[in-house]
Amino acid sequence: MNRALLDSLFAAGGAADWGWTSYETLTPHMDENAREKAEALCPGAQCVLVCAVPYYAGDAPGNLSLYARGKDYHLVLGDLLNPICEVLHEKYPAYRFVPGVDNSPLPEREAAWAAGIGLRGEHGLVIVPPYGSWVFLGTILTDHPAPPPDRAPSPPCIRCGKCQKVCPGGALRGETFDPERCLSHLTQKKGELPPEQEALLASHPLAWGCDLCQKVCPYNAHPKATGVSTFRDDLVENLTEDMVEGVTNRQFKERYGDRAFAWRGPAVIRRNLALQTSKN
């Protein structure tokens, strides 16, 4: 594959960096189900292209995680990756090129680190200076043979421990991560929660997501703002009880369907806001 061509294609879509790794380097990080899904998407997969797209657009007050304030990143990265796959398929018609954003069976962060993108954050996120960890990842899975590596795998961050110390639920535990104690996960979890998780949400300032481990990270002290206009413009920074009370799933998705917080519908946000109100 032509690096100069891919450089221009990824840069045109707003990617801060991109790289590749062989598919086999990722299989130890995939369970049997994920490997079966990847094989179904791209039989004989050989290579994974991965890119990092920055989304930081400032830190205005609000109760939504910064990643969810602009247009849904699934849509934005899809608009970046789909044309690249079309160009690659035209150039290499014998091969498949399958885009993936978040819902892919591929371990995206492991792919980025194997490709030498950024740093391995102690909070488990990819850090891409000068954008910090405020980046989304996208992948392209292909049966085109992987070129030889042109970078070493990503080095670790400075391991200052600030992200682990600030996590209210203690989700970050050295090399392990407990999603059931992660506030970002809990704000998206459906249904009734056990008392311990309700207490965590009641004390949490956000109705969706959690940015605490990122905000204390030294690499995020002065992040460069994204150049991607759909992550900068028409931001939704705050949701109130009045905005979700009595709203049906259909109404909610008609209003906010192009936002990353819309996929669960209004019920979980109503619950989160009610817990925070009861605390106060």
Alpha-helical regions (H) of the chain: 3-12, 32-41, 73-91, 108-114, 162-166, 183-188, 195-202, 212-215, 229-232, 241-244, 249-256, 267-279
Give the position of tokens 């969706």. 208
Among the options 7, 102, 150, 178, which is catalytic?
102
Distances (CA, A) of 240 to 108, 208, 260, 276: 33, 12, 17, 11
Compute how many other C-beta atoms are within 10 angstroms of the C-beta atom of residue 139.
27
Whole-number Å distance between alpha carbons of 69 and 92: 37
242 is catalytic: no
**Looking at the annotation, which residues are catalytic?**
102
